[in-house]
């Protein structure tokens, strides 16, 4: 099952970082968000990726075209100009990089990726969110219900610290917990090939007409994820993810 990663947006809310690179290339622990997302999928057996590039997509292409060189030891013969890798990268991903346009919307980017996908169902996710999603369980859930689409429903992170009160005394304080009320779109979709009929052009926004229509027709199911999930829309959220990685206990870490 191919994994489409939407990586073409401008990331204007993270302008401090995205003025020089696309948001999926912003680094957490020395690795771009794309690397973290791909590691999550690959840990569950899904390692065929199709990256929908757009804004500053050349930076993404350069990263992957030089990936093996940057992740291997090298012996360089300056006389002959030959370069030999002394060890092979343990990563065996297949990565397809496609320019889907600078101003194309999310649904339009998926539509442009369709000719590059293998037959059958495919996955889609955003290039700016991390979680400890059980991707294999998500895929199994999708296969079980027979509908066109599955979206991963998550609990949103709270905007403020949560207080547990006993009378006027604060019994506990939890900075930015996951809330226990409501569900939101966490990305990590699975679609059947029939989803192509819901995408009309470059200006199609996935989260508007296509998902609304699928829901109205009873073709959109929700896989409930109650574990860790965190988008990276602001500098503060990037710093949160960075601190979790630095702690050695990042919830999304797969061991690679």
What residues in the chain have per-residue pLDDT under 50?
Answer: none
pLDDT at 11: 81
CA distance 47 to 207: 25
Distance between first and last Cα of the chain? 21
Closest alpha carbon to 237 in 21, 20, 26? 26
The H-or-E segment that residue 216 falls in is helix 209-216
Q: Are 123 and 189 in contact (CB under 8 A)?
A: yes
DSSP 172: E
CA distance 84 to 141: 44
pLDDT at 170: 60
pLDDT at 15: 82
Neighbours of 158 (CB within 10 A): 15
pLDDT at 186: 94
pLDDT at 140: 97
pLDDT at 161: 61
pLDDT in tens, 114-145: 999 999 999 999 999 999 999 999 999 999 99
pLDDT at 18: 85
Show the domains of the chain with their CATH numbers.
3-246 (3.90.550.10)
pTM of the model: 0.89
Strands 48-53 and 3-7: parallel
């Amino acid at each position: 099952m191919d994994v489409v990663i939407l990586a073409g947006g401008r990331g204007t809310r993270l302008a401090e970082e995205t003025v020089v690179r696309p948001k999926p290339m912003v680094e957490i622990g020395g690795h771009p968000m794309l690397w973290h997302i791909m590691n999550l999928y690959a840990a569950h057996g899904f390692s065929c990726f199709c990256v929908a590039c757009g804004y500053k997509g050349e930076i993404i292409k350069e990263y992957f075209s030089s990936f093996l060189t940057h992740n291997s030891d090298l012996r360089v013969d300056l006389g002959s100009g030959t370069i030999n890798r002394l060890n092979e990268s343990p990563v065996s991903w297949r990565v397809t990089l496609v320019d889907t346009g600078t101003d194309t919307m999310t649904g339009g980017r998926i539509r442009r990726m369709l000719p590059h996908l293998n037959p059958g169902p495919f996955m889609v996710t955003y290039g700016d969110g991390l979680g400890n999603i059980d991707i294999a369980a998500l895929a199994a859930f999708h296969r079980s219900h027979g509908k066109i689409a599955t979206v991963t429903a998550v609990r949103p992170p709270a905007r403020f610290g949560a207080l547990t009160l006993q009378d006027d005394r604060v019994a506990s304080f939890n900075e930015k917990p996951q809330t226990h009320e409501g569900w939101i779109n966490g990305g990590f979709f699975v679609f059947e090939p029939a989803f192509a009929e819901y995408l009309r052009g470059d200006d199609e926004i996935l989260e508007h007409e296509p998902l609304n229509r699928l829901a109205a027709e009873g073709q959109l199911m929700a896989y409930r994820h109650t574990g860790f999930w965190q988008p990276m829309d602001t500098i503060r959220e990037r710093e949160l993810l960075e601190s979790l990685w630095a702690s050695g206990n990042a919830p999304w870490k797969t061991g690679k």
